[in-house]
Copies of this chain bind each other. A is one copy, B any other.
Amino acid sequence: MSSPAVDFARANHTRFLEELKALLRIPSISTLPEHKKDVKAAADWLAAELKRIGMENVEVIATAGHPLVYADWLHAAGKPTSLCYGHYDVQPPDPLDEWKTPPFEPTERDGNLYARGAVDDKGQMLMHVKALESLFQAHNGKLPLNVRVILEGEEEVGGEQIAKFVREHGDRLKADFALVSDTEMFAPELPTLCVGLRGMIYTEIEARGAKTDLHSGMYGGAAPNPFVALAQIITQLKDPSGRILIPGFYDAIKAPSEDELKAWQTLPFDEEHYRTTEVGSSQLTGEPGFSVLERTWARPTLDVHGMPGGFTGAGAKTVIPAKAVAKVSMRLVPDMTPQQAFTQYKSYVESLKPKGIELDVRLIHSGDAIVVGTDNRYIEAAKDAMKDVWGRDTVFVRGGGSIPIVGDFERHLKIPTVMMGFGLPDDNLHAPNEKFHIANYYRGIESIIVFFEKLGSA
């Protein structure tokens, strides 16, 4: 596979990688207020880069939260318009002591680039920019199609500001399809398009007992314990087999089609290999009667992420804390809605209130589940482009994660999204030692170049 733009990209591998490293050095952790300036610095870095490569109307758009970055190039009359989306914020790096090299000092090791955000999503987002740069360079300062770029800085904390922008300024994002690279390949060397995502609700349950922290010697046996209360509630949310016990929770589920389920069975997937290499636990868990792919792509799930409160230091402090919190999220599948799921969950949790405990059940953020139709020219072109670059048939999969913006594009802009991602299953997203396979960064850039050239020449 070759074209002048692909040749340009290949000739610039080293520089493209160094530019990604520069972006990864900015600790743009959107959930931590002390990193607000870093998030802004990442936005400014990207705006400067978009301007440098030839994009127009570049703007860092201030919001009530972290800024958006917008740019466009709209001079390909009669050609389709792509809306390129990415996010430049990252998850917190904790637990820090489990990183082999510092999370914000990108380090090459065994063909991979290790850093927080390497694949989620700075590396994948920058593939778009580098593809555009290569196309500008190879097409005499022009692009083969129209492009708008919109980047956000709070995907990891719910993406509230971009959702608002999409709702209120749809005219500024007018396009024929969106391109999102925030997903992964099903297996190394296997070109993959993601055509479905789970939605989510992320919640907190706060349990309050005594008015102040109490000594467990003096008050143990009389004062309610918020951790015990939360444990009782969590245990009633999901049975030991993994089935969620919230009344009505499964009612709205639309199962995958027979064809889709059949296609999943042909994917190169071995549960035992997945267990040992990716999860590493003694057994896998989850609802009985469903395969791992069904459980992680097409079934709702419930997880607890942390339980702040009380004493968490080394050693012993014999406190009955006045309050404790459980961070609980649920993944949703079509046609469940976050609104309905949260209503069912909240009312069920409140019905479980243990003796002497007051509860506060809060929704922190949410996103819709989505399924993209595969019968449109953009998905077709993407499929063909990936096949050209990777030399193998492209497979369609779903993702277990949530990219709420894809639902917003569908709902408010009425456009389909091409989810063309180049992460690998062992990339450690949201975990210590996150990485991006460097060869995938390069071939991702090529895939996008070819995809855009196909759409521009049709």
Chain A interface residues (CB < 8 Å from chain B): 31-33, 91-92, 94-95, 98, 156-158, 184, 198, 200, 202, 209-225, 227-228, 230-232, 234-235, 238, 240, 242, 274, 278-287, 292, 295-296, 299, 301-321, 324, 326-327, 329, 331, 354-358, 364-365, 399-402, 425, 428-433
A308 to B314, CA, bound (A): 10
* A354 CB to nearest chain B CB (Å): 6
Residues in B neighbouring A230, C-beta threshold 8 A: 231
Please judge, given known A-B contacts A31-B314, A227-B305, A238-B228, whether A286 and B321 are in contact too, CB under 8 Å.
no
A365 to B316, CA, bound (A): 8
Cross-chain contact B222 with A295 (CB below 8 angstroms): yes
Cβ 8 A contact of A317, one of B92, B283, B400 = B92
* A39 CB to nearest chain B CB (Å): 13
Please judge, given known A-B contacts A317-B305, A318-B202, whether A430 and B215 are in contact too, CB under 8 Å.
yes
A312 to B310, CA, bound (A): 12
Please judge, given known A-B contacts A213-B432, A311-B327, whether A283 and B157 are in contact too, CB under 8 Å.
no
Residues in B neighbouring A299, C-beta threshold 8 A: 221
Cross-chain contact B220 with A296 (CB below 8 angstroms): yes
A321 to B356, CA, bound (A): 30
User: Closest residue to A315 on the B side, CB-wise?
Assistant: B31
Residues in B neighbouring A221, C-beta threshold 8 A: 242, 286-287, 292, 295-296, 299, 301, 331, 400
Given A202-B318, A218-B401, 7 further pairs, Cβ under 8 A: A198-B217, A223-B285, A224-B284, A228-B234, A306-B317, A306-B319, A307-B312
Could you list 25 A-B pairs, sorted by A, with CB under 8 Å? A31-B313, A31-B314, A92-B317, A158-B315, A158-B316, A209-B281, A210-B280, A211-B280, A212-B433, A215-B401, A215-B429, A215-B430, A215-B431, A216-B331, A218-B429, A220-B301, A221-B242, A221-B295, A222-B286, A224-B281, A227-B307, A231-B232, A284-B356, A305-B318, A307-B310
Cross-chain contact B281 with A430 (CB below 8 angstroms): no
Cross-chain contact B296 with A305 (CB below 8 angstroms): no
Cβ 8 A contact of A316, one of B202, B228, B355, B358 = B202
Cross-chain contact B292 with A222 (CB below 8 angstroms): yes
A319 to B221, CA, bound (A): 34
User: Closest residue to A209 on the B side, CB-wise?
Assistant: B281
Please judge, given known A-B contacts A287-B221, A303-B320, whether A431 and B216 are in contact too, CB under 8 Å.
no
Cross-chain contact B228 with A304 (CB below 8 angstroms): yes
Cross-chain contact B304 with A227 (CB below 8 angstroms): yes
* A300 CB to nearest chain B CB (Å): 8
Cross-chain contact A310 with B285 (CB below 8 angstroms): no
A4 to B317, CA, bound (A): 42
A364 to B311, CA, bound (A): 14
Residues in B neighbouring A284, C-beta threshold 8 A: 222-224, 356
A178 to B4, CA, bound (A): 91
Cross-chain contact B280 with A305 (CB below 8 angstroms): no
Cross-chain contact B216 with A303 (CB below 8 angstroms): yes
A31 to B315, CA, bound (A): 6
* A96 CB to nearest chain B CB (Å): 12
Cross-chain contact A281 with B211 (CB below 8 angstroms): yes
User: Closest residue to A311 on the B side, CB-wise?
Assistant: B306
User: Closest residue to A212 on the B side, CB-wise?
Assistant: B431
Residues in B neighbouring A303, C-beta threshold 8 A: 216, 220, 225, 228, 318, 320
User: Closest residue to A198 on the B side, CB-wise?
Assistant: B217
Residues in B neighbouring A156, C-beta threshold 8 A: 316-317
A221 to B314, CA, bound (A): 32
A432 to B213, CA, bound (A): 7
- Central interface residue in A301, A364, A425, by most chain B CB within 10 Å: A301
* A429 CB to nearest chain B CB (Å): 5
